[in-house]
Amino acid sequence: MTGLGKDLVGLEPLSADQLRLILDTAEPFKEVSERQIKKVPALRGKTIVNLFFEASTRTRISFEFAEKRLSADTVNVAASGSSVSKGETLVDTAKNLEAMRIDMVVIRHGSSGAASFLGQRIASNVINAGDGKHEHPTQGLLDMLTLRDRFKRLQGLKVAICGDVLHSRVARSNIWGLTKLGAEVGVCGPPPLLPRNIEELGVTILPRIEDAIAWADALNILRLQLERMTAGFIPSLREYNRVFGVTTERLKKAPKDLLILHPGPMNRGVEIDSDVADGEHSVILPQVTNGVAVRMAVLYLLAGGRPGPQQAAGGEEA
Amino acid sequence: MTARTQLLDDRAIGRALVRMASEIVERCGGTTDVVLVGIQRRGVELAQRLKRLIDAAEKTDLPTGKLDITLYRDDLQTIGPRPVVGETSLPDLEGRTVVIVDDVLYTGRTVRAALDEVTDFGRPRRVLLCVLVDRGGRELPIQADVIGTTVSLTATDRVDVLLSERDGRDVVELVRAPAE
Amino acid sequence: MTRPIVIRGGRVIDPSTGGDAVADVMIDDGRIGAVGRNIGSPDGALEIDAAGKVVAPGFIDLHTHLREPGQEDLETVATGASAAVAGGFTAVCAMPNTDPVADNQGVVGFIVRQAQRAGKARVYPIGAISVGQKGQQLAEFGEMVGAGAVAVSDDGKPVMSSHLMRTALEYARVFGIPVADHCEEMTLAQGGAMHEGLVSTRLGLKGIPAAAEEIMVARDIILAELTGGHVHLCHMSTRGSVELIRRAKQKGLRVTAEACPHHFTLTHEACEGYDTNAKMNPPLREAADREAVRQGLRDGTIDVIATDHAPHHYDAKEREFDDAPNGIIGLETALGLAVSELVESGLLTLPELVLRMSTLPARLFHLPGGTLATGAPGDIVVFDPAAEWEVRPERFSSKSRNTPFAGRRLRGRAEVTIVGGEVVYQRT
């Protein structure tokens, strides 16, 4: 019996079986979103708070669709800025949520560890929708699901994560999830944007984008936050595109067609060229579709839906 | 030790299905607009068998579908283990006669969930329920229209349906817990 | 007149004379009267049985944050002094990062008076290097020394300006006081929440590279050579720092250094689970750094053990790791950690431990104490190096509870602490 436990704060603590469970559970949820009535009553009566301390359109909407398609009641709380600048501490926020008897909290926060902090202090299920530079587990899962859809396997697959790995929670979740399921992960970016000791997580460092393209089956291209320039990590966006941008020209030299992923939102012409983003090997939009399915699966599994042993025989409804 | 008693052997199951197939056709006044929908998991195999029997007898090609009611259950966290969510795939149900097929009818909660789910997919003209075993013990006002066999059991008893497609052999057994 | 005290039958360790034997110690009129066998009991003397225990000059902490004035809800001079004596310390040096900053004779004098009022441990203020610890204008060293300051430091903040550091080292020579520096190159360390390494990469926390400390250690050594001043390097945490200091000492430079119990006990792995009680500056480093600090203490590259006792309110640590303040309290766990981690492992002998916690701290900052010589202040700790105990923060004398060692079992505990010939702490 493998459940997910109370919270989903990251992919690092999950076992390969737990990861497969989420991906497998996401499969039927893809179909729910294709129905005329895109709604099932699985989480009817559950109340979910989407607690977003950082602005995020896409992740919040994806979670909200996932929740509504499972018939949960949702409340969105957009708390701009950190809890500190707001005056209320995260622990007070947690206690208030607890007092309102909510069932689940989806939290996005600028500080690494905020999701586990919340999870340790409230009885409700907590789902990490991105905490600082730590993890963004549902993004990692939807990337894995998209890769599995296309390649029918993750074992042995070579995935290069390209760009600002240092500041990326998406990169960390992908690294944990993919390596646990037997994929090979490479990271490629300007050395100032690669975190210390990253190779000890079992990833290969690919010094140049050409190396990544020659090596990989798929590229997961990270968004370059524009403020990295003023913080002195890279000289200019123009030069970044020249040296690390994923362009059609570079992809033409690849030994095989590469699948192109991007967690969005994209900076077209910086980390990725438009004709790559819109090209035939881009799965950027299927990623978005899979995002809803993966989040439905996570919500469903945390709410109590669990797999059972293969039934020895049929019969017996309950 | 639990005691196992055979209720139906493979031949008895075969005879029951032949009879059920013809009852379905009778009840529906033919095969026009009839859709067979099996409930995951063994209802799906039974629906396929009924389709083959009806198709052969009536020279038709009945549409079938499968229904996974996991997401429509009313007990998501009251009890523990439950199956992985299975596939739901249904043909157009609008204006059709939908025959829901399952292996065992007990409390009626699965059928309640199936009715809810079917309704979300369209508005059938009529819905029938067809089960291989009706073991009694209903908790909801639901009854089957076509029944393979009826047995009356206590709550501690269990009915196991094994089908060759999934389990390698056809048999229906009563599993009785030992008396204290 | 205070009552004479005779401490009988303990293992008397005095690194200042090399003494280490079972003996009696007599304290009279606030001073050490005699050390020897079968000392007669003066009239009305208090007899303390120290059989099986160690009798040593009281510990002296060169690095304590007392929070008064300004943050008396975290600690006061009085509660800090109580925590000190409960940990076997007879004197502590109070860092100047209070509010207002101890950058003038007024605040320095205030701390001295508060300590006198509290009794308990001796408190020696450390004055700020720069006005307001802003790193610009030199504070009035002479005035502060006149009011009781024993050293200068901008601790809590590094002295980023090499010019200011040079000036401080030169000017401090006039008063014969050391300049204690918190070594942190801010452009490398800015925004960092823990050591930069595998754990920070996994937790997604901004790291502080070891280089941020080592660059400033190297600079301070170079400036010590340039100026001939005495630089004291606070809370050394990296293997690179230890190596730099070792070489500086080989060259005969006036460089001394301290290490904290948490740096010779824990590594950055203590930050797992975002435990904010493992957040401190300098941060907990890697196993190889911890080992280098231990070896530094063994071979004398690092002169003294200091606590960096840094009280924080319980809810200040109850928050996101990035936003939690740095530091832990240390006065009441220092002896236990030192015995458990350094003595039990065979790294230090008990006399060496006393040397690094009492005799050398006194010598480095030119403080009374650190010796059992006749006529020296009657500042004594009686401790049981074999006593096993569990860290229970709720029982601490400190006002604060922020420690990563709660629940840890330690060996070595103060039994009696005597300051100026008076028993100021007796374990109950």
The per-residue pLDDT for range C371-386, each reduced to its tens digit, is: 999 999 999 999 999 9
Nearest CA to C304 among C15, C108, C10?
C15
**What pLDDT does C344 receive?**
97
Number of structural domains found in chain B? 1
Q: Is the pLDDT of residue A311 over 60?
A: no
- State yes or no: is A58 an active-site residue: yes
Q: Is there a single domain that holds both residue C40 and residue C81?
A: no
Give chain B's residues under pLDDT 70. 1, 75-84, 179-180
**What pLDDT does A318 receive?**
42
Contact A197 C206 (CB under 8 A): no
Name the residue in chain A with its Cα closest to that of B119: A37
Residue B98 placed within a domain? yes
Domain that holds residue C218: 59-364
A109 neighbourhood in chain C, CB within 8 Å: 320
Q: Is there a single domain that holds both residue C310 and residue C389?
A: no
Mean pLDDT, chain A, as a whole number?
A: 90
Residue B176 placed within a domain? no
Give chain C's residues under pLDDT 50. none
Residue B22 placed within a domain? yes
Find which of B74, B76, B90, B157 to mutate to test the A interface (most A CBs within 10 Å of its CB). Answer: B76
Residue B140 placed within a domain? yes
Residue C369 placed within a domain? no
pTM: 0.90
Give helix then strand counts, H and E, for chain C. Answer: 13, 18
Whether C59 contacts C85, CB under 8 Å? no
Using CA atoms, how far apart are residues C188 and B50, in angstroms rounded to an integer? 74
Residue C348 placed within a domain? yes
**What pLDDT does B77 receive?**
54
- State yes or no: is C308 an active-site residue: yes
Q: Are strands C380-390 and C54-57 parallel, antiparallel or unpaired?
A: antiparallel
Cis check: omega of the bond before C69, within 30 degrees of 0: yes
Domain that holds residue B24: 11-75+83-156
**What pLDDT does A93 receive?**
84
Q: Is there a single domain that holds both residue C303 and residue C338?
A: yes
Confidence of residue A84 (pLDDT cuts 50, 70, 90): very low
Name the residue in chain B with its Cα closest to that of A27: B87
Residue B165 placed within a domain? no
Q: Is the pLDDT of residue A257 over 60?
A: yes
Q: Is there a single domain that holds both residue C35 and residue C145?
A: no
Find which of A196, A199, A205 to mutate to test the C interface (most C CBs within 10 Å of its CB). Answer: A196
Pull the structure tokens for residue B3.
């005691």
Contact B71 A35 (CB under 8 A): no
Q: Is there a single domain that holds both residue C49 and residue C65?
A: no
For domain A138-287, give the fold.
Rossmann fold (3.40.50)
Radius of gyration of chain C (CA): 20
Whether B90 contacts B141, CB under 8 Å? no
Radius of gyration of chain B (CA): 16
Confidence of residue A80 (pLDDT cuts 50, 70, 90): low
Does residue B178 belong to the interface with chain A, where contact is any CB pair within 8 Å?
no
Please state whether at least 3 CB pairs lie below 8 Å between chains A and B: yes
pLDDT, tens digit, 9 for 90 and up, residues A157-166: 999 999 999 9
Number of structural domains found in chain C? 2
Domain with CATH 3.40.50.1370 in chain A: 16-136+290-302, 138-287
Residue C420 placed within a domain? yes
Higher pLDDT, A296 or A309: A296
Confidence of residue A306 (pLDDT cuts 50, 70, 90): very low
pLDDT, tens digit, 9 for 90 and up, residues A189-221: 999 999 999 999 999 999 999 999 999 999 999
Q: Is there a single domain that holds both residue C267 and residue C125?
A: yes
Closest CB to A303: pick one of B76, B109, B173: B76
Q: Which residues contact C327 (CB under 8 A, 6 or more apart)?
A: C65, C279, C280, C281, C308, C310, C311, C312, C402
Mean pLDDT, chain B, as a whole number?
A: 91
Q: Is the pLDDT of residue A82 over 70?
A: no
Contact B162 A35 (CB under 8 A): no
Q: Is the pLDDT of residue A91 over 90?
A: no
User: What does CATH list as the number for A16-136+290-302?
Assistant: 3.40.50.1370
Contact C315 A91 (CB under 8 A): yes
Q: Is the pLDDT of residue A314 over 80?
A: no
**What pLDDT does C137 receive?**
96
Q: Can you tell me the ipTM of this complex? A: 0.91
pLDDT, tens digit, 9 for 90 and up, residues A9-23: 999 999 999 999 999
Residue B135 placed within a domain? yes
Residue C372 placed within a domain? no
Which candidate in A25, A59, A146, A289 is catalytic? A59
Q: What CATH number has the domain bearing residue C265?
A: 3.20.20.140
Pull the structure tokens for residue A265.
């939102």
Q: Is there a single domain that holds both residue C90 and residue C119?
A: yes
Least confident of A37-41, A93-97, A260-264, C264-268: A93-97
Residue B95 placed within a domain? yes
Question: For chain B, which chains pass the contact test of at least 3 CB pairs under 8 Å?
Answer: A
Q: Is the pLDDT of residue A67 over 50?
A: yes
Q: Is the pLDDT of residue A276 over 60?
A: yes
Q: What CATH number has the domain bearing residue B121?
A: 3.40.50.2020
C-alpha pair distances (Å), A47 with each of A25, A303, A304: 21, 11, 14
Q: Is the pLDDT of residue A44 over 50?
A: yes
Q: What CATH number has the domain bearing residue C32?
A: 2.30.40.10
To the nearest whole Å, the CA of B137 is away from the closest chain A CA by: 11
- State yes or no: is A46 an active-site residue: no
Size of interface A-B (CB pairs under 8 A): 105
Using CA atoms, how far apart are residues B1 and A311, in angstroms rounded to an integer? 19
Contact B159 A305 (CB under 8 A): no
Using CA atoms, how far apart are residues C270 and C310, in angstroms rounded to an integer? 18
Residue B133 placed within a domain? yes
Confidence of residue A81 (pLDDT cuts 50, 70, 90): low
- State yes or no: is A172 an active-site residue: no
